[in-house]
Structure 1
Amino acid sequence: MKKRKGNPMRIKFVLPCLLGLLISSCNPTKYLAEDQKLYKEGDVVIHNDTIPKERKEAFETFLESALMPKPNKKLLGMYFKLGLWNMGGGPDSTNNFVRRWLKRNGEEPVLLSDVNREYNQNLLRGKMESLGFFHARVTSDTLIDGKFATVRYDAFPGKIYRINNVTMDVDSNSQIGKNIRNVEQYSLLKKGSNYNLDVILNERDRIDNELKHKGFYYFSPDNILVEVDSTIGDHQVDMFVTIKPETPRKAKEPQTIGNVYIFPNYTETSGENRRRIPRYAEKFEDKYYIIDRENRYRKKVLANHIFMEPGTLYNRWMHQQTINHLVNLNAFKFVKNDFVDNADSSNTLDVYYYLTPMQRRSVRLELIAKTASVYNGTEANVNWTFRNAFKGFETVTLSVFGGYETQTGGNVNLNSSYIRYGAEVGINWPRLLSPYKWAPAKRYIPRTFLKVGYEFLNRRTAYTLNSLTTNFGYAWKENEQKEHNLALAEFIYVQPRGISDEYKAQMDTVPTLRHIVDPQFSFGPNYTYTFTNSMENKKHTFYAKAGLNTSGNILGLIQGADYNAGNIKHLFGTAYSQFVKAEADVRHYMKLSPNSQLASRIMVGTSYSYGNSRSLPYLKQYFTGGPNGLRAFRARAVGPGSSRPENIGEDNFFADQTGDLKLELNTEYRSKIAGMFHWAAFIDAGNVWLQNTDENKPGGRFSKEFLSELAVGGGLGLRVDLDFLIIRTDFAIPFRVPYRAKDDRWVFKYIDIRDRDWRRDNLVFNLAIGYPF
C-alpha cells in the first residue's frame, strides 16, 4: 500500500478553525457586556406530592419545552453555534466573507434580558389548566452564576379535576341530533378521566368526522360547544356537549350528491370557464358526466374509481377514497375537487373533478456509484415509462441497465470483477385481471403485474451467465398495515456460457464454483405478506415480512424425479429445481427518547429441496455478510456452518459462501448527535447452513449445534440524514469466527487496533445508502 500524503495547506487551515471553534465554545460569554448574562436554561420544578416521581419528571420536561426563548444549542456540553458566531467577530460588523459565513451559520447569544418571566408563568399556568389543574399557580426566580443565568419556575398544580358526567345536550328529534346520539357510546370523554383540553378538541373532531360520513358536508368542529361546570365540588366537572346556537341551518342538514362532472384532460383556465359543461356531454351509465372528447381514457375504468354517486348522501370516506384512487392511478399530475350547491335543488351538491394529466411518456436516467467493503463499481439505468398505455391507466415500463464492479482491495485479484447489462419490460394494470371476481379493500387500488427481464453477466476471465426471468401476479393492500404480493407464475432460467479453462480447473478443487455456473431453471408460484405499523407514533413498532416460494413441485411428483437415484428430469433440455422455501424478516423498533431508538431484527430462512434437486439453485440460496447483514464480515463470506472459507489466493476466483438455511440477528442503538448527524452502535450475529452433508464443506450441514456456529461482530457507525437521503458509514470488527476451533471462536483476545495487519484483515468499512433495517 502506498502512503497517502496529506495536504499541508488544508491541515494548516482546518486545524486553526477547529481550535478556534473549541476556544470560542469554551468562552461563550466573550462578547457579553458587563451587565449582560447568558441565559443558560429554564428549569421547572413541580410541587405536588400526589404525582409519581417518573410522571413528575416527564411533566417537568413537557413544561420546560414550552418556555421561551430557547437557550443556545449545545453539542457535547459546548455552545457550538454560539462559538461560530463568536469566531465571526460577534457584534463586529466588519464586511468579511469568512466572518459573514461564520455568523450566518452561528447563533447570537440568548440573554437573560430576552426572557419574559411573566409571559412564561402565564404560559405554564395555561398548560397545566388545559390538563385539568384548574387552580395552578407559578412563581419564578433568577439564579445567577457568574456570567450565566438560570430561571427557575416553581409550579404548584394542585389537585387535578376529573370528569363526573358527560351529557350530549342535543335535540334528539332533529336529524343531526339523532346522528350525534347514535355514536355517543364512542365518545372520548369518559367518566372518571382527567379533564384534558386536547381530548375535548379531539372529541369535537370525532363528532364532526361521524357527521361527515352521514352527509353533513357544511358542518365544522367549531360548531360544537363543550361547556364545563367545575362548581360541583370534590375536584370534579360536569360536561355538556351541544351545538352552538349560531350554527347555520345548512350545516345542520345532510347534503345529497347531485351531478358528478369529471374533466380528465383539465388544464388551468379562468374561473368563469372552469365549470362550463359542453353541449355534447352525456351521462355515462346514467351516473357521471365524463368530459373526454378525445377518448383518451376508457370511461368504464375511470368510473370504477369514482365513489361519489348521484342520489346518495355526501360521505367523507367516499370523498377521500375517490381522491386517493385518482392520485394513485399514476396518470394525473394534479387532482382537484370542488363541491358546489346545485342551482335547482336544495341540500344538493354537484361534484366537479379536475384531473390534469401527467406527461404520457417520460425517460429517467440514473447514475449510481457503489462501494461496500473492498468492492467498488458504477451502474447506469435508463427507465422509459408509458402511462395510460391502453387507455385503462396501464403503465408500461422499459428499463435498460449496465454496470461494472471490481475489487480494489483485499487478497483477491480482478477475477472477481464483472460487467452486467440487461433489460426489463413490465406492464402494470390498476385492477385484478382474474377470471374469478374478488376484490380486496376499496381503500387501495389492487394491481396486476407482468414482468419479463433479461440479464447478461460477464465475469471477465471466468464465465458468462444469461438469465431470463418472467413474473405474473397480483399486489394489493388489505389496509394501511397489511400488504400482499402473489406471483402466480415466476420463471427463472439461467444458462452459463464461455466458462474459461482456468475456471474449470478450479471447479474441481472448489466445488462451490461449479454450483455458481450450473444451469438453473425454477418455476412456480410465490407469495409474500408484509405487515408494518412503523408509521405510527408509538414506543414499540414492528415490521414483518414473510414469504413462501416453490418450484417444480407438481411436475416433479408427476414425473417421479429423484436426484439421489440418478433419475433427474428435464424441461426444455434443462434440469429444473424442485424445492419449498420459506423465510421471515421481523423487526422491532423501540423509541427510547425523541432522539434515540433501539432497532432489532431477526431473519429466518429455511428450505427443503427434494426430488429433482439436492439443494437450492444458486440464485435462490441464502448468504450473509456485507453492509446490510453481518457488517464485520465481507459480503457472502460467512459459512456455511463451521466450514472454513475456500482458500482464496491472488490467482484464484472468489467463491460465494451460500446455504439452504439462514439465521441472522441484529441489534442497533441509534441516536442523534446534532442537526443531520446521527451515530449508532450495533451487534450482528448469523450464519447459513446446508440441508445435506457436503464432503467439500465439513461442518456446513445444519445440526443441533447451530447456535455455537453463529458468527458475531459489532461496531460503530455515523449516519448523515439529508431528509431525502441517508448516508451510512459503519466500522465493524468480528467478535466470534465460526470456522475457528470450537473452544477458540471468540476472538476478543486477538483484537489489536494498533496492529496494521490486524486492521487490514479484520476492520471492515461499509459505505451504504439508507439504514440496514
Structure 2
Amino acid sequence: MRNKLVIPCFLGLLLSSCNPTKYIADDQKLYKEGDVVIHHDSMALDRKEAFETFLESSLMPKPNKKLAGIYFKLGMWNMGGGPDSTDNFVRKWLKKNGEKPVLLSDVNREYNQNLLRGKMENLGFFQARATSDTIIDGKFATVRYDAYPGKIYRINSVKMDVDSTTQIGRSILESKDQTFLKEGSNYNLDVIIGDRERIDNDLKHKGYYYFSPDNLLVEVDSTIGNNKVDMFVTLKPETPAKAKQQQRIGNIYIFPNYKETTGSNRRRIPRGTEKYDDKYYIVDRENRFRKKVLANHIFMEPGKLYNRWEHQQTINHLVNLNAFKFVKNDFVDSADSTNTLDVYYYLTPMQKRALRLELIAKTASVYNGTEANINWTFKNAFKGFETVTLSVFGGYETQTGGNVNLNSSYIRYGTEVGINWPRLLSPYKWAPGRRYIPRTFLKVGYEFLNRRTAYTLNSFTTNFGYAWKENEQKEHNLTLAEIIYVQPRGISDEYRAQMDTVPTLRHIVDPQFSFGPNYTYTFTNTMENKTHTFYAKAGLNTSGNILGLIQGADYNGGNIKELFGTAYSQFVKAEADLRHYMKLSPNSQLASRIMIGTSYSYGNSRSLPYLKQYFTGGPNGLRAFRARSVGPGSSLPENLGEENFFADQTGDMKLELNTEYRSKIAGMFHWAAFVDAGNVWLQREDVNKPGGKFSKEFLSELAVGGGVGLRVDLDFLIIRTDFAIPFRVPYRDKGDRWVFKYIDIRERDWRRDNLVFNLAIGYPF
C-alpha cells in the first residue's frame, strides 16, 4: 500500500518538475539565471571565473532551486495546484514547502547593474561599469550582465594622519606597523573596514572603552595617477571627547545570587558589604559561593585601565563555570572620579539540582536495542563550583540478523559517580594559563553485563586526572590513575565447551586488572574557514610497569604476579588519530583519516587485556565489514555458525586508512563516496591465529572496502546511512585477496554475504 502511494507521488513530482512553466502566463517568462561575463583581457582565466561566480552570487532575485537540472521545489508548488487556493492538506503542504516561480518581471536589471558596479568598486575597480541584456528561450529567460571592471587601483601610500601630541593619537600610532593596509596591495573596502576594527580592538585593550570604529575615517585620494591611491587614516572631527579618554576600573560589584528585578534596585549594595581581597564587593548574603574561588575568575582589578581581553575573559570564565543561567555585566561612569568605570556583574544561578531521563533506541547493522539513563546533577556542590554527577543506566540489545549466534543478546546496567572541579587540585603550584578553566575530574563506576547463555562480567573503573586547554586549538588530558578491574562470573557450560576449541572466546572472559596513568593530546583547527584543516589526537596508555619491574614479573617464565588476588596487566600502548579535511567547494570536501595504534606487552602480560585491544570494522571503521570481524592479520575468522558464540577479532596493533568525498545534494541532503582500508595484528605468534602476528607483509594484509552513503543534516543531528562492499579480503589466498572479479550485485547470495548496510549518527570522522 505504501509503495502504491509513494510511486505515483514521485512520478507526479517528476512530471511537474519537467514542466516547470505549467502555471506561467503567456506574457511571462521563467527566470532561469543571471549570467555575469567579465571583460578584462589581462585577468587570468581562473581568477575571472571565480570573480564571475562571486558577482553572480549577489544578483537578485535568486532563480528557482534545481537538483540535477530538475526544478524540484517549483515542481512541488505546481503539484500543490500552483496559484489556485486549496483546502487539501497534501496540496497545502506541497505549496508551503515548494517555491513559486521566479519570473523575468521580478528582475530589476538596473538595480543589479548598480549592485555589480558597487561590488567591483569596493574591490578597487573604480572605473567599473555594467550593462545587461535579456536572452529569451521559449518560456525561459536568462539575463546576461556584461561587467567591465577596468584597471584595478593599488595602494601607493598609507598615512596615519592623527595628532601625535594627544594620548589617543600616540595610542593609534603605536600599532601602525600592524595595519592591514599595505603599500602595493589592491584597494579593498573590506580590508579598510577590517583595519578600522583592528584599531578599535587595539584601543579597547588600552582603556578606550567608549571608542568606536565609526570614529575613524579613511580618506582615499585616487587623483595621483597611475591607478594608485593615497590613504589617510584620521579621527573624525565629531569624535566625542569621552571616546578619546582612557577609562580606569573603579569599584567592582558581583551579585552571584542575582534575580531579575526592575528599576535601580539591582545596583543597591547592602550596608556592611566589605571588599574581598581589597578588590571586589561580593554580595552573597546566603554564602552560597566561596569568595576566593569566585574571585579567581574575575580578571579586572580596581585602578587598572579597562581592557577588552580581561572583560571578555571574565565573561567566558563565568559562563564556563556551568553554575550560572545568565551572566550579565554593566559598566557605569563612576560618581566618585572622572574617566572611571564601576563594574557590575549580575549572575543568575542555575538550578542547583537537576534530574534527566534519557531513553535511547539503538540500531547498528544486525543489532537492535534500547537503553535508559538517569542522570542526577548537583551543581556547586561544595560552594566552589564543583559539579557532582550520578548516573544510573540499563540497556538491552539483541541480534536481529547476520550469521552470528541469535541468542547472543545481553543485558547491561550500572552506575557512575563523578566529581568535576573547575581548577587543578595539585600539591604543586602549576597553572597552564588563565584563558581557559582547567578541570580536575574523579569518576568511579560499576557495570554488570549479562550475556544471557554465555557469561556475566562485573566491571569496576576509577579515573582521576586533569583536563586543560592550552589554546583554542590544543587540549590536554592527563589521567594520573586509571584503574580497570573486570571479573567474569557465571560462564555457561556451552560457552566453556567452545572456549576449548576457540581460544579467542577465552580471552573475552579472562579476569582483567590494569592500572596506571595515561595522557591524550588533541589538536584541531577544523573550526577555521580554511581550504586545509586538520584534527590530530595522540595518546599514551600504560599499566603495571613500575610494579611489574619491581616484582620481576615474567609471564613466559611462569612467574605471574598478582595484586588483590588477580594478575595485573603490564603494557605500554600508544595510538594516533590524524585527519585532514580539504574544502573543494562551498558544498563539497575531501575528508581523510589515518589511525595508527601499537602496544608492547611484557613482564606480567603476553598481550593487551581484552578491553584495551584494537579492533576494526563497523559503521565508524571499515564499513564493508561487520564490527570486530577483521583480522588479526591474514588469519581466518572463526566461522562459528548460527548456533555458536561470536568471537571478536582483536589485536595488539592497528592501522586504518579512510578517505571520503562529501558533497551536498540539496537542502539537508548530502551524499558521500568512500574507501576504507585497515587491519589489526598480534604482537606475538598465536598458534590459534596463524598469520595474525605483525610482520613486514602487513600491507598485503590490509582489508579494503568502499561504498556510497546518504547523510541527512538536521543541524542538531546528522543521520548517516552507508552501503559498502569489500574490495580486498585479507584471509583469502595471498594471490586472490582482491575480490573485484567476484562482485555480482544481481546475485542474491552475494548481496547477503557482502553488501553491508550501516545506519549511524554523525560522521565517521
TM-score, normalization by structure 2: 0.99
**Contact 2:355/2:377 (CA < 8 Å) preserved in 1?**
yes
**Contact 1:371/1:766 (CA < 8 Å) preserved in 2?**
no
Q: Secondary structure at the match of 1:302?
A: helix
- How far apart, in 2, do the equivalents of 1:702 and 1:88 lie? 63
- Spell out, residue by residue over 1:590-634, the C-alpha distance to the aligned partner (whole angstroms, 9 max, x if none): 111111111000000000000110100000000000000000000
**Contact 2:16/2:78 (CA < 8 Å) preserved in 1?**
yes
The amino acid across from 1:745 in the alignment is: R
2:507: which partner in 1? 515
**Contact 1:415/1:654 (CA < 8 Å) preserved in 2?**
no
- The partner residue of 1:611 within 593, 603, 614 is 603
**Contact 1:172/1:181 (CA < 8 Å) preserved in 2?**
yes
The amino acid across from 1:767 in the alignment is: L
- How far apart, in 2, do the equivalents of 1:702 and 1:96 lie? 66
- Aligned pair 1:402/2:403, yes or no? no
**Contact 1:469/1:490 (CA < 8 Å) preserved in 2?**
yes
- How far apart, in 1, do the equivalents of 2:278 and 2:425 lie? 26
- The partner residue of 2:692 within 700, 707, 721 is 700
Q: Secondary structure at the match of 2:315?
A: helix
- How far apart, in 2, do the equivalents of 1:654 and 1:491 lie? 28
**Contact 1:415/1:462 (CA < 8 Å) preserved in 2?**
no
1:195: which partner in 2? 187
1:177: which partner in 2? 169
Deviation at 1:651, TM superposition (A): 2.0
- How far apart, in 2, do the equivalents of 1:467 and 1:280 lie? 55
1:621: which partner in 2? 613
- How far apart, in 1, do the equivalents of 2:575 and 2:86 lie? 65
1:504: which partner in 2? 496
- How far apart, in 2, do the equivalents of 1:103 and 1:463 lie? 58
Residue segments in structure 2 that go unaligned for 5+ positions in a row: none
- Aligned pair 1:551/2:543, yes or no? yes
The amino acid across from 2:271 in the alignment is: R
The amino acid across from 1:206 in the alignment is: R
- How far apart, in 2, do the equivalents of 1:760 and 1:114 lie? 54
- Aligned pair 1:236/2:228, yes or no? yes
- The partner residue of 2:128 within 133, 136, 142 is 136
- The partner residue of 1:245 within 226, 237, 246 is 237
Deviation at 1:202, TM superposition (A): 0.3
- How far apart, in 2, do the equivalents of 1:511 and 1:552 lie? 25
- How far apart, in 2, do the equivalents of 1:190 and 1:472 lie? 52
**Contact 2:577/2:593 (CA < 8 Å) preserved in 1?**
yes
The amino acid across from 2:541 in the alignment is: N
- Spell out, residue by residue over 1:661-700, the C-alpha distance to the aligned partner (whole angstroms, 9 max, x if none): 0000000111111111111111000000000000000000
Query: How many pairs were matched up?
Result: 765
- How far apart, in 2, do the equivalents of 1:607 and 1:99 lie? 62
- How far apart, in 2, do the equivalents of 1:158 and 1:450 lie? 66
- The partner residue of 1:721 within 708, 713, 734 is 713
Residue segments in structure 1 that go unaligned for 5+ positions in a row: 1-6
- How far apart, in 2, do the equivalents of 1:20 and 1:402 lie? 47
- The partner residue of 1:469 within 452, 461, 474 is 461
**Contact 1:637/1:656 (CA < 8 Å) preserved in 2?**
yes
Deviation at 1:93, TM superposition (A): 2.2
Q: Secondary structure at the match of 1:127?
A: helix
Deviation at 1:414, TM superposition (A): 2.9
The amino acid across from 1:144 in the alignment is: I
- Aligned pair 1:486/2:464, yes or no? no
The amino acid across from 1:622 in the alignment is: Y
**Contact 1:752/1:758 (CA < 8 Å) preserved in 2?**
yes
- The partner residue of 1:369 within 361, 364, 381 is 361
The amino acid across from 2:321 in the alignment is: L
- How far apart, in 2, do the equivalents of 1:32 and 1:373 lie? 49
**Contact 2:657/2:678 (CA < 8 Å) preserved in 1?**
yes
**Contact 1:189/1:199 (CA < 8 Å) preserved in 2?**
yes
- The partner residue of 2:577 within 579, 585, 604 is 585
C-alpha spacing 1:106/1:263, structure 2 compared with 1 (3 Å) = same
- How far apart, in 2, do the equivalents of 1:96 and 1:684 lie? 48
- Residues 376-391 of structure 1: pairs in structure 2 closer than 5 A: 376-391=368-383
- Aligned pair 1:599/2:599, yes or no? no
Deviation at 1:92, TM superposition (A): 1.4
Q: Secondary structure at the match of 1:414?
A: coil
1:67: which partner in 2? 59
Q: Secondary structure at the match of 1:271?
A: coil
**Contact 1:734/1:747 (CA < 8 Å) preserved in 2?**
yes
2:314: which partner in 1? 322
- The partner residue of 1:257 within 249, 255, 270 is 249
- The partner residue of 1:427 within 419, 425, 443 is 419
1:528: which partner in 2? 520
**Contact 1:521/1:575 (CA < 8 Å) preserved in 2?**
yes
- How far apart, in 1, do the equivalents of 2:628 and 2:11 lie? 44
- Spell out, residue by residue over 1:650-669, the C-alpha distance to the aligned partner (whole angstroms, 9 max, x if none): 22111000000000000011
- How far apart, in 1, do the equivalents of 2:92 and 2:690 lie? 67
1:284: which partner in 2? 276
1:4: which partner in 2? none
- The partner residue of 1:49 within 41, 65, 76 is 41
1:572: which partner in 2? 564
Deviation at 1:416, TM superposition (A): 2.2
- Aligned pair 1:186/2:192, yes or no? no
Q: Secondary structure at the match of 1:555?
A: helix
Mean alpha-carbon deviation: is it higher for 26-35 or for 383-392? 26-35
The amino acid across from 2:763 in the alignment is: Y
**Contact 1:736/1:745 (CA < 8 Å) preserved in 2?**
yes
- Spell out, residue by residue over 1:446-494, the C-alpha distance to the aligned partner (whole angstroms, 9 max, x if none): 0000000001111111111111000000000000000000000111111
- How far apart, in 1, do the equivalents of 2:406 and 2:445 lie? 28
Q: Secondary structure at the match of 1:318?
A: helix
The amino acid across from 1:760 in the alignment is: R
- How far apart, in 2, do the equivalents of 1:404 and 1:264 lie? 44
Q: Secondary structure at the match of 2:496?
A: helix
1:3: which partner in 2? none
- Residues 91-240 of structure 1: pairs in structure 2 closer than 5 A: 91-240=83-232
The amino acid across from 1:184 in the alignment is: K
RMSD, matched Cα: 0.8
- How far apart, in 2, do the equivalents of 1:595 and 1:412 lie? 40
The amino acid across from 1:349 in the alignment is: L
- How far apart, in 1, do the equivalents of 2:389 and 2:624 lie? 38
- How far apart, in 1, do the equivalents of 2:129 and 2:528 lie? 35
- Aligned pair 1:307/2:291, yes or no? no
Q: Secondary structure at the match of 1:415?
A: coil
2:5: which partner in 1? 13
- The partner residue of 1:411 within 403, 422, 432 is 403
- Spell out, residue by residue over 1:688-735, the C-alpha distance to the aligned partner (whole angstroms, 9 max, x if none): 000000000000000000000000001110111000000001111111
**Contact 1:365/1:382 (CA < 8 Å) preserved in 2?**
yes
- Spell out, residue by residue over 1:202-259, the C-alpha distance to the aligned partner (whole angstroms, 9 max, x if none): 0000000000000000000000100000000000000000111100011001000000
Q: Secondary structure at the match of 2:407?
A: helix
- How far apart, in 1, do the equivalents of 2:400 and 2:86 lie? 50
- The partner residue of 1:561 within 533, 539, 553 is 553
- Spell out, residue by residue over 1:396-426, the C-alpha distance to the aligned partner (whole angstroms, 9 max, x if none): 0001111111111112223322111100000
The amino acid across from 1:82 in the alignment is: L
- How far apart, in 1, do the equivalents of 2:197 and 2:283 lie? 36
1:447: which partner in 2? 439
% same residue:
87
- How far apart, in 1, do the equivalents of 2:271 and 2:684 lie? 75
- Spell out, residue by residue over 1:734-760, the C-alpha distance to the aligned partner (whole angstroms, 9 max, x if none): 110000000100111111111111111
Deviation at 1:649, TM superposition (A): 1.3
